[in-house]
Amino acid sequence: MNELSASSRITYRAVMVRPGVTRRIRGLSDRALAWLFITPTIVLLLAINIFPLLWTIYLSFTNYRANRSNVPTIWLGADWYQSILTDPDIWAAMQVTAHFVIWTVVIETVLGFGLAYLIDKKFRGHGMWTTIILLPMMLSPAVVGNFWTFLYQPQIGLFNYVVAFFTGRAASSFQMLGDVTLSPWAIVIVDAWMWTPYVMLICLAGLRSIPDYIYEAAEVDRASKWRQFWSITLPMALPFIMLAVLFRGIENFKMFDMVNLLTGGGPGSTTEVASITLKRAAFESWRTGYSSAFAIILFVTVFGLANIYVKALNKVKSR
């Protein structure tokens, strides 16, 4: 008797709870549910991306200084923009950045595609080689910056030793990070070392996407390996190569961490890429309004260039 009443109570409860839960779930339309899921993301994006961007735009028209927040803020109009665009130091930094971006992208693309082309030949152990080649990419830029500082060390550095071994010059006769002509190349080498694997990975995906039977058709059509490369491999992998160039270009335009650790912009300002100039203005001179204006200029530049580039990329892809 007791048992029976217990079991009937359980049944009763189950019946009571069920409709309540169902009704609560039913009460939400699909649209409401969708909003529920994306609202946190939207709020987060607004808070950490959109608001700071708008705030930076506002600050770029003022004399605001982050270390003197009690000084009344004065509206300056486009004064900062005018002085930045006419400042020879800024143009020097832009030139350093351009040198860095162009050379790293060129070297990484050529080497990355070359490596991908070799790996794609599927020789023995190509899987292991892929993993080994990808290692630098997995390291933190801070770690890379630190240990390349050691590799570039004139007395004990491995890099200098290897160059000395092959050229016969004394290892301590040159300083990769201390020489005004060598240091711009020193940062290019490190970035190429670290990010060539990334370009290789994207190119490899492109090469793997070309079906074998296209090559077989070309083989039967008497196309030489050379002609197969120029008329099949390269055009079909081109969208992937362009994508890799886009990613690396944008990344390196914003390059800060690795260069800051290796040279800090020196010697003098020979490796002072735009983001280091920006950091100095913002957090060493505390010229918040000025650096905000510079940041906006950089942002517009990258955004504009990337947009033109994506248009070209889409054109290539739709061929």
Partner 1 sequence: MAEVEIVSVSKAFGKTQAVSGLSLTVGDGEFVALLGPTGAGKTTALRLIAGLEQLDSGSIRIDGRDMTAAAPADRDVAFVFQQYSLYPHLTVFENMAFALRAPTRRVAEADIRTKVQEVARLLHIETKLDNKATQLSGGQMQRVAIGRALVRSPSIYLMDEPLSSLDAKLRGELRLELKRIQVELGATILYVTHDQTEAMTMASRIGVIEGGRLMQIGTPREIYENPINAHVAARLGQPVINLLPAALFGSAPVGAATVGARTEHLTIARGSGDVSATVKRVEHLGDQSHLHLDLAGRPVVTLADPEAGFGAGDVVSLRLNKPLFFDANGWRVAA
Cβ atoms within 10 A of the Cβ of 199, count? 29
Asked if residue 141 has a cis previous peptide bond (ω within 30° of 0), the answer is no
For partner 1, give the closer residue by CB, 146 or 231. Answer: 231
For partner 1, give the closer residue by CB, 166 or 213. Answer: 213
Q: Minimum distance from CB of 220 to partner 1 (Å)?
A: 5
Q: Minimum distance from CB of 238 to partner 1 (Å)?
A: 9
DSSP letters, the chain, are: -HHHHHHHHHHHHHHHHHHHHHHHHHTS-HHHHHHHHHHHHHHHHIIIIIHHHHHHHHHTTB---TT-TTSPP-B-TTHHHHHHHT-HHHHHHHHHHHHHHHHHHHHHHHHHHHHHHHHTT--TTHHHHHHHHHHHHHS-HHHHHHHHHHHT-TTT-HHHHHHHHHH---GGG--TTT-TTTHHHHHHHHHHHHHHHHHHHHHHHHHHTS-HHHHHHHHHTT--HHHHIIIIIHHHHHHHHHHHHHHHHHHHHT--HHHHHHTTT-STTTT--HHHHHHHHHHTS--HHHHHHHHHHHHHHHHHHHHHHHHHHHHHHT-
For partner 1, give the closer residue by CB, 172 or 228. Answer: 228
For partner 1, give the closer residue by CB, 137 or 218. Answer: 218
Q: Minimum distance from CB of 117 to partner 1 (Å)?
A: 18
Q: Minimum distance from CB of 120 to partner 1 (Å)?
A: 18
Q: Minimum distance from CB of 224 to partner 1 (Å)?
A: 7
Judge whether 263 and 186 are in contact, CB under 8 Å.
Answer: yes
For partner 1, give the closer residue by CB, 41 or 318. Answer: 318
One-letter amino acid for residue 112 of the chain: G
For partner 1, give the closer residue by CB, 74 or 217. Answer: 217
For partner 1, give the closer residue by CB, 184 or 239. Answer: 239
Q: Minimum distance from CB of 213 to partner 1 (Å)?
A: 5
For partner 1, give the closer residue by CB, 18 or 227. Answer: 227
Judge whether 76 and 59 are in contact, CB under 8 Å.
Answer: no
Q: Minimum distance from CB of 223 to partner 1 (Å)?
A: 6
**Residues lying near partner 1 in the complex (CB under 8 A):** 211, 213-214, 216-224, 227, 231-232, 235-236, 319
Length of the chain: 319
Q: Minimum distance from CB of 219 to partner 1 (Å)?
A: 5
